[in-house]
């Protein structure tokens, strides 16, 4: 079904429906894609907030070349087929000159071919699977990728937490979670550790005790949980119920207030790799945190930071491009060297940003900055 959706969408675009890039003379249409409903709804909400904030700030300074930015936003529902549909709409109907998002790798992999076929630059905010930017030269991202994140998690587990035996649990139906666990396993093993259990579960699972029973029987010292916050919290609770006492480590998919709301005491003392920490003292971080809190009444998560950074990277490129056509914007993006909230960003040959990661600890129900790890 997904293949049909993609092929039909790409065929329609190649037929030339997008060629006019039609936009009103006094505004620049920017597409925005995120899941404001579905399994990652909190991620989508903070992502859209950040898009809105970035556009408000740029428009407050006069927009780009006297033209106001306008966000055409679409809910992808965390579903690849829906993602393909909304990408097509944003390009064909809304006439977006660029697309911000999406959040999830599985949706990005559905939408990216459509943007690539239309020569529309796309800035994925948090789609960390390496395959995303390999779709083509119009596909960029604001986040570091899973091999780096998996490597950071593995090094931290071995060198900082002093473990020698690890186990992994992940969603087999999600490119992000499966890939992250695979990269963790590869690096942990390469550094001399042993992965004693590697257990997948089906998407939508809420009872993980069968997998966790096998894992605990293998006696790991640490549990690597690459799932999103909701599943990670449930896994933590069930692992504790079954007697696992060691630390848990995860990826940036943990970054939601729901992690501690659902996980409670079970998630205390755990760690995850992330793109920023709210208590990082750098002025650019603290300025953003203050602005976001003032406008939305909540502390920004990494999803908000990367969406905001991605918007600024794209808008800066559009301004430098001097034209609103895809090739000009793409060329400007490629030449980026810009300080944003999550760090100084340049793009490598695969259009992935080269920047640092942070380790965040769950402590007293809060997310606390632990360390910065450079690429």
Write down the mean pLDDT value for the chain.
92
Alpha-carbon distance 280 to 32, whole Å? Answer: 28
Q: List, for residues 67-79, the tens digit of each pLDDT value.
A: 999 999 999 999 9
Confidence of residue 159 (pLDDT cuts 50, 70, 90): very high
Residue 254 pLDDT exceeds 60: yes
Task: Kindly write down the DSSP assignment for every residue of 245-294, as one continuous string.
Answer: -S-EEE-GGG-SHHHHHHHGGGGTT-EEEES--TT---HHHHHHHHHHHH
- Asked whether this chain's domains 2-144+283-355 and 146-274 adopt the same fold, the reply is yes
pTM, 2 dp: 0.78
- Given pLDDT bands bounded at 50, 70 and 90, which one contains residue 375? low
Q: Look up tokens 């203050």; give the residue.
A: 290
pLDDT for residue 18 is more than 50: no
* 349 pLDDT more than 70: yes
pLDDT digits (tens, 9 = 90+) for 19-33: 344 444 699 999 999
Query: CA-CA distance, 229 to 238, in Å (whole number)?
Result: 14
CB contact set of 265 (below 8 Å; sequence gap of 6+): 240
More confident residue, 281 or 117: 117
CA–CA gap between residue 373 and residue 375 (Å, rounded): 7
Topology (CATH level 3) of domain 2-144+283-355? Rossmann fold (3.40.50)
Considering the four listed CATH numbers 3.40.50.1110, 3.40.50.300, 3.30.420.10, 3.40.50.2300, the one that applies to the domain covering 146-274 is 3.40.50.2300
Q: What residue ranges do the domains of the chain occupy?
A: 2-144+283-355, 146-274
Token reading at 265 = 């005491």
């Amino acid at each position: 079904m997904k293949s049909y959706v993609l092929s039909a969408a790409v065929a329609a675009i190649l037929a030339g429906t997008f060629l006019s890039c039609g936009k009103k003379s006094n505004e620049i249409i920017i597409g925005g894609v995120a899941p404001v409903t579905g399994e990652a709804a909190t991620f989508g909400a903070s992502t859209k907030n950040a898009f809105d904030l970035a556009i408000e700030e740029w428009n407050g300074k006069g927009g780009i070349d006297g033209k106001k930015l306008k966000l055409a936003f679409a809910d992808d529902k965390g579903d690849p087929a829906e993602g393909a549909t909304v990408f097509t709409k944003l390009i064909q109907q809304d006439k977006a000159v660029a697309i911000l998002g999406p959040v999830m790798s599985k949706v990005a992999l559905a939408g990216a071919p459509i943007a690539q076929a239309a020569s529309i630059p796309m800035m994925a905010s948090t789609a960390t699977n390496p395959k995303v930017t390999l779709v083509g030269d119009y596909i960029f991202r604001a986040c570091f990728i899973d091999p780096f994140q998996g490597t950071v998690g593995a090094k931290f587990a071995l060198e900082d937490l002093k473990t020698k035996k690890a186990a992994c649990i992940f969603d087999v139906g999600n490119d992000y979670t499966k890939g992250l666990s695979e990269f963790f396993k590869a690096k942990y093993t390469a550094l001399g550790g042993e992965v004693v259990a590697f257990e997948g579960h089906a998407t939508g699972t809420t009872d993980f005790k069968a997998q966790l029973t096998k894992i605990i029987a293998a006696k790991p010292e640490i549990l690597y949980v690459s799932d999103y916050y909701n599943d990670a919290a449930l896994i933590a609770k069930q692992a504790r119920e079954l007697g696992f006492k060691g630390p848990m480590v995860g990826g940036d998919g943990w970054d939601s207030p729901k992690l501690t709301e659902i996980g409670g005491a079970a998630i205390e003392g755990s760690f995850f790799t992330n793109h920023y920490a709210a208590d990082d003292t750098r002025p650019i971080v603290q300025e953003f945190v203050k602005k976001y809190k003032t406008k939305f009444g909540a502390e920004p998560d990494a999803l908000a930071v990367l969406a905001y950074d991605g918007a600024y990277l794209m808008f800066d490129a559009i301004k430098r491009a001097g034209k609103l056509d895809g090739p000009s914007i793409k060329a400007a993006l490629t030449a980026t060297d810009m300080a944003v909230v999550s760090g100084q960003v340049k793009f490598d040959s695969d259009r992935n940003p080269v920047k640092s990661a942070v380790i965040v600890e769950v402590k007293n129900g809060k997310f606390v900055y632990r360390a910065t790890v450079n690429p």
